[in-house]
């Protein structure tokens, strides 16, 4: 069964997050996702607050830009959230928007090298390992979390290109494909992702997360059909974003839960 959720995009004021998260929780929606765009809400702060305001909702971050964050700090924050709200958190990481990384002095010459080093180190830290590495960008000397996760949350990597998607299969627990990756591109990306998982000894499809926008006038049946089509491609999580500026997000998450969810197999 496909996991269905909604998105609280960072162009929304952070003070609205509480009402949206609680509406999603009350409606029985499975997941709510946030992300970290420069220079808007912080992803970790948003996820932690929404988890504290709700009882059963899972929060995802899609994604945290790795050039902005030291990997040890990211591991500390993810582990703290997972231990506080076990089983309700899906963290995502990725390159971030390169121009924004340049604005803050964090742009690197090889985003792929950074992402590979970062993903490998973060995955190991969350698993409770002591990590020593001296890479091009990630350097750790005997680093281990004092409070590692009891069970590491699924770590997903956001990307569009085949090399980035393959990192999600090889070194993480899944991949995020955003709205700019259409259904045909999802279909084309999955074989490389699955091959990377298989080559690294990982079983199954892991977490294949896709974001999709929902026009204001789209009937629930049509939205459900689009979700079902993605599920048939092998997508495990579909996160919906409202494209209607005049519809409150509290109403949108309730619509996804009550009108779309029952129509999705």
Return the CATH number at 29.
Answer: 3.20.20.30
CA distances (Å), 131 to each of 64, 84, 124, in order?
21, 23, 7
CA torsion, ordered 53, 56, 60, 61, to nearest 10 deg: 20
pLDDT for position 203: 85
Instruction: Tell me phi and psi for residue 171, to 5 degrees.
Output: -115, -10
Q: Up-side HSE of residue 177: CA atoms within 13 Å toward CB?
A: 27
Domain that holds residue 11: 3-263
Tokens of 230: 């993605």
Q: How far apart are CA 112 and CA 103, in angstroms?
A: 19
pTM of the model: 0.96
Show the CA angle centred on residue 211, arms to residues 4 and 161, nearest 5°: 135
What total number of domains does the chain contain?
A: 1
- pLDDT tens digit string along 218-251? 999 999 999 999 999 999 999 999 999 899 999 9
Q: How far apart are CA 175 and CA 205, in angstroms?
A: 10
Q: Which residues of the chain have pLDDT under 50?
A: none
pLDDT for position 125: 97
pLDDT for position 1: 81
């Amino acid at each position: 069964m496909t996991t269905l959720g909604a998105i609280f995009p960072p162009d929304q004021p952070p003070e609205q997050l509480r009402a949206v998260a609680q509406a999603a929780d009350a409606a029985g929606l499975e997941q709510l996702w946030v992300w970290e765009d420069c220079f808007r809400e912080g992803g970790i702060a948003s996820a932690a607050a929404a988890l504290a305001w709700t009882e059963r909702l899972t929060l995802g971050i899609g994604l945290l830009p790795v050039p902005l964050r030291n990997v040890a700090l990211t591991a500390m924050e993810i582990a703290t959230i997972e231990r506080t709200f076990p089983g309700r958190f899906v963290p995502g990481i990725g390159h971030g928007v390169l121009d924004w990384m340049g604005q803050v002095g964090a742009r690197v010459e090889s985003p792929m090298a950074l992402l590979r080093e970062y993903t490998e180190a973060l995955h190991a830290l969350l698993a409770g390992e002591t990590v020593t590495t001296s890479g091009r960008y990630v350097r750790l000397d005997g680093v281990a979390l004092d409070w590692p996760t009891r069970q590491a949350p699924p770590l997903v990597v956001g990307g569009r290109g085949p090399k980035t998607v393959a990192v999600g299969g090889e070194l993480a627990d899944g991949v995020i494909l955003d709205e700019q990756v259409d259904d045909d591109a999802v279909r084309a990306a999955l074989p490389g992702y699955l091959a990377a998982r298989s080559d690294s000894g990982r079983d199954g499809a892991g977490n294949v997360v896709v974001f999709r926008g929902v026009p204001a006038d789209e009937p629930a049946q049509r939205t459900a059909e689009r979700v079902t089509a993605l599920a048939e491609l092998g997508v495990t999580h579909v996160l919906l974003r409202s494209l209607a500026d005049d519809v409150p997000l509290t109403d949108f998450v309730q619509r996804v839960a009550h009108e779309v969810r029952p129509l999705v197999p």
